[in-house]
DNA sequence: GATGAATGAGGATTCATTCAT
DNA sequence: AATGAATGAATCCTCATTCAT
């Protein structure tokens, strides 16, 4: 008998070459973005990934784990990319600009991910605490170091509390993304990087 | 015998003098803050307000209406107060400072409300869109006008896009509140007003 | 000051001159016919009668009592009228014809009542038992006596069981009414009296 | 070792050999007959069928669908059986007798089904309309054709409206069943077939 | 590893009824 | 007699998760 595909491997063409785990994760991002975490049905994620409901439980602990994992993996990836972009850049001002650009470019190019990141990851205090203790904290620390570095260099004002600046920059970026998601008109989020950097660096006055 | 309450009016002391409607609303803020919107049980809100479950439906359309109403009423109130504080203040810089202070003081003095505002109001795209179209938009407009006013006066830099500044300030304040809520140590949120204003006005450089 | 109606007496014009009790009963017939017993809301009956919800409980024991009372009162009235029409009529065949005509005319001229009678009075075994033990039994007895009378006279066949004939005639009339209610076209129910009588008297052969 | 049931199939003896779907349907008939449709609890049906509450929703759309399905399936089956009994019978009078007998035998041998059929299927105009448009109409048509056939043969009187006769026969049978259900004494419903046929064929005179 | 039929806990909401006025 | 605000019991259905195959 000629070689034939095993029946179980028959999958929608679009899935070819991606691991089940990745497909589930991506389907989850899309379903969460579309329906919201609480209204998202595991069945729909399974359908989106082209697997059986039960299969999801072979890779993840459940619906909540899916959300946490999405956040962790995408954040980890985000930070790695950012580090790469920052490698070799020494000027503090330039590091700030790159960080801002990276944030807006990354989320600006993946709306479902942005929705999950801005909306779905924030439904419960417990969940937000969990995330902010690890991943968000890492991000804020990175920002804080850039500021401290700039202050040590003498480029940034010394009478600013670095942690407060870090939070402020994060807050601005966060709001830019949220605002973009909710906007009725489509526009290029990354285009905001320059004016945002200008404001952060120079202030109002 | 001193004047005494009629038997039907006998209510837990803490409820005295408050209308049922207000008691329900306040109980909802507390339960939503404690358990999260989706996990909040209507029964618990009723219990907290000292009314029967069904009574809630005499005043509100349901659980979701409770959340929307909380937001609308507290925001309206917030904006009124802010307007009062700004009345008679002409210097743009001062108006910015007052706005920042008002934001941080108001939420910094009512943690449950802050939790609902930062966390519970953001579970779904649909819900966020709803809110951002009306109330948040009003707030952003108010901020924008302050900026434009300052630019007209020649105090604020003219090459800043007022809407972007408005969003930035809002984003910073939002993050300050969220960060305060999630913080393990208790601290005075309003105390951040001064450094935040400094950053907003002068930037990093 | 010109004479004015006392505020509590202000009622829809159509109610004038009818006692509250009757208005409630009639409103109940209409609401039951429209929505079905289980879906009928006491509030709607009150609204229809122009009284407060609580007022209904001054006249009736509750929703179920309303249904029972409707049935009892309308049936009592029905039987009284029938007796009047039968008074002085001796020929058994004529008595049958009158009975048939009375049934179809009475229900054929009050659709909501017919709906309640054919549909709403029959939701539960318990309820049907209750009614069939008293009022329906009275009606069947009356029919049975007409048959027995006709048999004694020698006009009706003696080898028919009178009770079975009574039930049969009732069954036919009942189905005529039900069928009329459910029919999409409007037609005169009473016009069926003659052919029905013909069938009952002469059979198929 | 003799063949034995697989562990998962271990079910109460009474369920053996019946599919879940059928068990649910039968349990529904019994619970509806016992408690009435509106008072019937889905949980009780599940318990009666030996399945979990949620399982019912894998097979049916809900409580109402259960009632509709019962009616449709039992009626379909009823009509099939009737057709089989009528096959090859040509004499119109005999066809009438068989129809009457089939009706009374079928319902007379399954009291819960008879209760559902006579009582529970009739709570609402909407529901009755639904059913009478399809299944009841089919039944009446079948009866009507028997009458027309008899008239064509010259056995039945030509001055009878076939549709009216069909409704009358249906009405008589319906009342016999209802009366039997409500009766306090138990008796053989099928025994009524002969006298009913006699009445239908020969009338009162 | 995969499947998907089966499970069953959990809760918002309705509405008949009450009773202080 | 009349009101109508308040009560609170009662239940259908959903859907995350399991586990036999």
Do C and D touch, counting CB pairs below 8 Å (3 needed)? yes
- The three-state (H, E, C) secondary structure of A158-188, written as one string: CCCCHHHHHHHHHHHHHHHHHHHHHCCCCCC
Domain B63-202 has CATH 1.10.357.10: yes
Identify from C196, C204, C205 which residue to disrupt to test chain D contact, counting D C-beta atoms within 10 A and taking the largest count.
Answer: C204
Q: Are A95 and A201 in contact (CB under 8 A)?
A: no
Q: Which pLDDT value is given to residue A121?
A: 86
Which one-letter DSSP state was computed for residue A88? T
Q: Which pLDDT value is given to residue C128?
A: 86
Chain segment D180-204, per-residue pLDDT in tens? 999 989 999 999 999 999 999 997 6
Task: Give the residues of chain C that fall short of pLDDT 50.
Answer: 1-16
**Chain B partners of A204 at a C-beta cutoff of 8 Å?**
96, 147, 150, 156-157, 160, 165, 200-203
Q: Which pLDDT value is given to residue A9?
A: 37
| Closest nucleotide to the alpha carbon of A58, via C1' | E1
Sequence spans of domains, chain A: 63-202
Long-range contacts of D144-151 (CB under 8 A, 24+ apart): D146/D92, D146/D95, D146/D96, D146/D99, D147/C204, D147/D92, D149/D92, D149/D95, D150/C204, D150/D92, D150/D93, D150/D95, D150/D96
For chain D, what percentages of helix, strand and coil (3-state, to nearest 5) are there?
75, 0, 25
Number of cross-chain residue pairs from A and B with Cβ atoms under 8 Å apart = 153
The yes-or-no verdict on residue A149 having pLDDT over 80 is yes
Strand E proximal to D41 Cβ, under 7 A: no
Phi/psi of residue D88, each to 5°? 85, -10
Mean pLDDT, residues A66-70: 93
Quick one: closest CA in B to A164, which residue?
A: B196
Cβ-based neighbour number of residue B119 at 10 Å: 23
How many Å apart are CA D161 and CA C194, to the nearest integer? Answer: 12
Q: Which pLDDT value is given to residue C35?
A: 87
Chain segment D84-128, per-residue pLDDT in tens? 999 999 999 999 999 999 999 999 999 999 999 998 888 778 888
How many Å apart are CA C157 and CA C145, to the nearest integer? Answer: 14
Shortest Cα–Cα distance, C58 to chain D (Å): 27
Test B96 with A170 for CB contact under 8 angstroms: no
Task: Give the residues of chain B that fall short of pLDDT 70.
Answer: 1-17, 205
Please give residues of chain A from 40 to 99 whose alpha-adjacent beta carbon (CB) lies under 7 Å from any atom of strand E.
Answer: 51-55, 57-59
Q: Are A59 and A24 in contact (CB under 8 A)?
A: yes
The yes-or-no verdict on residue D14 having pLDDT over 60 is no
Q: Which pLDDT value is given to residue A135?
A: 87
**Chain B partners of A159 at a C-beta cutoff of 8 Å?**
198
The yes-or-no verdict on residue D176 having pLDDT over 90 is yes
How many Å apart are CA D192 and CA C167, to the nearest integer? Answer: 12
Chains in contact with C, counting 3 or more C-beta pairs less than 8 Å apart as contact = D
For C141-176, give one letter per residue: b (16+ CB within 10 A) or e: ebbbebbbbbbeeeebbeebbbebbbbbbbbbbbbb
Average pLDDT taken over every residue of chain D: 88
Predicted confidence band of residue A11 (pLDDT cuts 50, 70, 90):
very low
Test C204 with D156 for CB contact under 8 angstroms: yes
Mean pLDDT, residues D72-86: 93
Query: Which position has the higher pLDDT, A2 or A155?
Result: A155
Predicted confidence band of residue A17 (pLDDT cuts 50, 70, 90):
low
Test A123 with B37 for CB contact under 8 angstroms: yes
Cβ-based neighbour number of residue D180 at 10 Å: 22
Q: Which pLDDT value is given to residue D203?
A: 76
Q: E10 C1' – A178 CA distance, angstroms?
A: 34
Which residue's CA shows the smallest distance to C1' of F2?
C55
- Of the given ranges (A136-145, B59-68, C23-32, D14-23), which has the lowest mean pLDDT? D14-23
Number of cross-chain residue pairs from C and D with Cβ atoms under 8 Å apart = 153
Listed in sequence order, the residues at least 6 apart from D39 whose beta carbon sits closer than 8 Å to its beta carbon are C124
HSE value, Cβ hemisphere, 13 Å, CA-based, for D44 = 14
The yes-or-no verdict on residue D17 having pLDDT over 70 is no
Q: Are A114 and B171 in contact (CB under 8 A)?
A: no
Count Cβ atoms within 10 A of the Cβ of residue C120 and give its class: 0-12 exposed, 13-18 middle, 19 or more buried: buried
Chain segment B181-198, per-residue pLDDT in tens? 999 899 999 999 999 999
Structure tokens at C118: 């054919």
Average pLDDT taken over every residue of chain A: 88
Cβ-based neighbour number of residue C139 at 10 Å: 20
Q: Which pLDDT value is given to residue C8?
A: 38
For chain C, what percentages of helix, strand and coil (3-state, to nearest 5) are there?
75, 0, 25
Query: Which position has the higher pLDDT, C176 or A120?
Result: C176
The yes-or-no verdict on residue A132 having pLDDT over 90 is no
Mean pLDDT, residues A24-36: 93
Quick one: closest CA in A to B121, which residue?
A: A123
Test D181 with C125 for CB contact under 8 angstroms: yes
Residue owning tokens 């920059």:
A169
Predicted confidence band of residue A13 (pLDDT cuts 50, 70, 90):
very low
Test C204 with D201 for CB contact under 8 angstroms: yes
Degrees to nearest 5, angle at CA C204 with D183 and C102: 60
Q: E20 C1' – B46 CA distance, angstroms?
A: 22
Q: E13 C1' – A204 CA distance, angstroms?
A: 52
Q: Which pLDDT value is given to residue C138?
A: 92
Q: Which of D159, D161, D168 sits opposite C172 (nearest CB)?
A: D168
Q: Which pLDDT value is given to residue D65?
A: 92
**Chain D partners of C121 at a C-beta cutoff of 8 Å?**
none
Structure tokens at C93: 């065949």
pTM given for the model:
0.82
The yes-or-no verdict on residue D3 having pLDDT over 90 is no
Mean pLDDT, residues D126-149: 89
How many Å apart are CA D106 and CA D121, to the nearest integer? Answer: 17
């Amino acid at each position: 008998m000629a070689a034939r595909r095993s029946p179980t491997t028959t999958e929608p063409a679009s899935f070819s070459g991606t691991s089940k785990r990745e497909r589930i994760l991506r389907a989850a991002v899309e379903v969460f973005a579309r329906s919201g975490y609480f209204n998202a049905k595991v069945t729909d994620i399974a359908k989106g990934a082209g697997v059986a409901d039960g299969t999801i439980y072979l890779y993840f602990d459940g619906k909540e784990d899916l959300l946490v994992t999405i956040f962790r993996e995408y954040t980890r990836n985000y930070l790695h990319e950012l580090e790469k972009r920052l490698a070799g850049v020494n000027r503090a001002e330039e590091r700030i600009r790159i960080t801002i650009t990276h944030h807006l470019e990354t989320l600006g190019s993946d709306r479902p991910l942005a929705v999950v990141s801005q909306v779905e990851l924030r439904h419960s205090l417990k969940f937000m605490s969990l995330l902010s203790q690890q991943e968000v904290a890492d991000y804020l620390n990175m920002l804080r170091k850039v500021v401290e570095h700039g202050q040590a260099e003498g480029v940034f004002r010394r009478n600013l509390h670095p942690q407060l600046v870090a939070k402020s920059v994060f807050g601005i970026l966060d709001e830019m993304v949220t605002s973009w998601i909710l906007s009725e008109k489509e526009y290029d989020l990354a285009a905001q990087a320059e004016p945002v950097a200008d404001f952060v660096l120079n202030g109002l006055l």
